[in-house]
Amino acid sequence: MLDAVINHASAQSEWFRAYLRAEAEFRDFFLAVPPETDLRAVVRPRTSPLLTRFPSSEGEKEIWTTFSPDQVDLNYSNPQVLLRIIEIVLAYVAHGASILRLDAIAYLWKQPGSTCIHLPETHRIVQLLRAVLDEVAPYVQLITETNVPHAENVSYFGDGENEAQWVYNFALPPLVLHALWRGSSGVLAEWASGLELPSAGATYFNFLASHDGIGLNPVRDLLPAGEIEMLVRGVLERGGHVSAKRNPDGSESPYELNINYLDALSMGAEEERWQIDRFMLAQAILLALRGIPGIYFHSLFGSRGWPEGVRWTGANRAINRQKLNRLDLEAELARQGSRRRTILDRYLQMLSARAGCRAFHPYGGQRVLRVGDGVLALWRTSPEDDRAVLCLHNLGPQPQAVSGVQVGRAMWDLLNDEYVPASRDLILKPYQARWLLEDVESDG
């Protein structure tokens, strides 16, 4: 996978320097905005000024900078920009890329007077990239990174054949956090029930943690305002930070929770013994859901937050971006019983169980079962419909008896290495995940 950052370029790039020198080839590569332009409707995920002043050979210019003053937006109304970007994308493919991540693609096309997000022209450019790649490198997959409300996010599937093959499942991190804080599967299960795929060649890119924070925009149409405020307060209480965005009316609202995911699942000193179990349950949900799981380095190795990084850099996102010393990491992993070793061992067990069963295929089937508010239950089936796994996840600190599921014959628990006899009452320990495989004889 390569990151195709095609919405903007660096303010230090040769392209932008040539633009400031007014070189003919780059004259319209960026967006100089006249002072009288009405930009009040523009939607963006930052509180920094939308326009940044730069000196040029033609005098000072106000340049469009959606994300920060050092990231200058490209002008796609100039066909030469589009052609140069297509050349770059094809160069990535020529150098071995089989997956291209379209960074911040939602903001690509600019039209003063509009929101400048998800415009039809943006979707047309994604469709053009897909058409080009389908023609010359049909094995290449596009994945769109759009940290926006869920319904807007999935619009980048297009009709299932003409835009991205994968979309980031941005609603998943805050919904899993909410479910574990509340001990309730209600909102998460309702949302997961609607995760349809538009075609056999499209799927979700599921993740919980990343180098950025936990976005709140994706759940604004899924969680009540009071529940979002609960997430904000809870993250601050756990030593995290909250980044804001500026709204068209000039006000600000919480945009992103900046906290390490393991730290986010702390429930207080009296419950610290459950923290690793709670964290691993979250990872089990990630791995059980239909789609392709993306596992952040710091989650795989059980890292905690890095508050010193925030103090040193002034950037809230630094809390989850610590660079580790390899020798120190290896020493911790070699120590039996250490937090890092415990989490890695459990993660490897889950990954092995998942990789060994086609019911977890990213294009397989998924059905959400209602078995009680404290349990998230998923029925996963292989694309051929010849393998099935019942995935049960206890979201609370108390044992849960699973109701509404009839085990008609013996099943094999992939995570706990044990048979589950037919018709036996299913009991889940606190924060336990059980993946129960049907047709155990065929799967070994």
Give the residue numbers marked as catalytic. 103
Strands 214-215 and 252-258: antiparallel
Half-sphere exposure of 145 (CA within 13 A, CB side): 17
Q: Rounded distance, CA 186 to CA 202, Å?
A: 26
Half-sphere exposure of 24 (CA within 13 A, CB side): 0
**Dihedral angle at the C-alpha atoms of 262, 186, 218, 397, nearest 10 degrees?**
-10
Question: H-helix or E-strand containing 366?
Answer: strand 365-369
Q: Which of 129, 126, 181 is nearest to 156 (CA)?
A: 126
Q: Rounded distance, CA 233 to CA 262, Å?
A: 17
- At position 261, the amino acid (one-letter code) is Y
Q: Which of 143, 133, 218, 136 is nearest to 177 (CA)?
A: 218
The two three-digit tokens of residue 10, written as one number: 């660096």
Contact 246, 255 (CB under 8 A): no
Q: What does residue 431 show for φ and ψ, rounded to 5 degrees?
A: 55, 35
Contact 174, 215 (CB under 8 A): yes
Name beta bridge partners: 73.
8
